Amino acid sequence: MGTKTVDEAGTESGTEAKRDEEKVDVTKTEAPDEATGTKAEAVEDATDDVTDDATDDGDEVIAEETADRAAGSTGVGQGAGAVVSVALGVVSLTGGWIGTVAAARETLVGQLQTSSSAGVATQIKEVYGDAWQTTALWAGLFALVALIIGVVVLARPAFGAPAGPQAPWIKSVSWAGVALGVIGLLLAVLKYTDALLGLPSAS
């Protein structure tokens, strides 16, 4: 009774062999799926890292371009102000058409308001003295504006300019404008007060 026949033993052996084959097949089938899932996750992580790096690089590039544009705009404005300061300083020393027209008008007014019977000193003052003072006044105004613009350009970085350090040529031109403004203003004051090139004596 405890003995198995050959058929039963063969049947059992075949059944166990089939079960073993099914286990091996399941293991082989599941293993590629797990490997595929791991590869997909790795590719996904790598893609996310590349995307994040590209985004960070893009943000940095945009920030640099924005800073460069702001710096360029500020540099252009300061450079223009420095050049204008020098130009006004030169006008204050050489004279402009506004000062010339104003002086000619003052001469005409003096001629109209001064009678031919007035003294020589009065005629000189009304016809020439007032015109020269008008020229000195306009020259002083140009010099003052040149001085103010030059000082503003030089002091601009101290008030939180968005750009970096001020360009050396802007500083140089601004200092030139300030120097011309000071010289022009000094000469205008001396001429207006007749301390320089005063009216000739009538005697």
Segment 92-151, tens digit of pLDDT = 999 888 989 999 999 898 888 887 777 878 888 888 888 999 999 999 999 999 999 999
47: tokens are 């893609």
Average of per-residue pLDDT across 33-42: 54
Residues 18 and 12: their CA atoms lie apart, in Å, by 10
Residue 80: pLDDT over 60: yes
The residue written with tokens 């009065």 in the block is: 122
List, for residues 163-185, the tens digit of each pLDDT value: 567 888 999 999 999 999 999 99
130, burial (CB in 10 Å: exposed 0-12, middle 13-18, buried 19+): middle
The Cβ-side half-sphere exposure at 141, using a 13 Å CA radius, reads 9
68 compared with 147, residue with greater pLDDT = 147
Residue 19: enclosing H or E segment and its boundaries? helix 6-94
d(CA 80, CA 76): 6
Task: Answer yes or no: are the C-beta atoms of 182 and 133 closer than 8 Å.
Answer: no
Contacts of 203 (CB under 8 A, 6+ apart): none
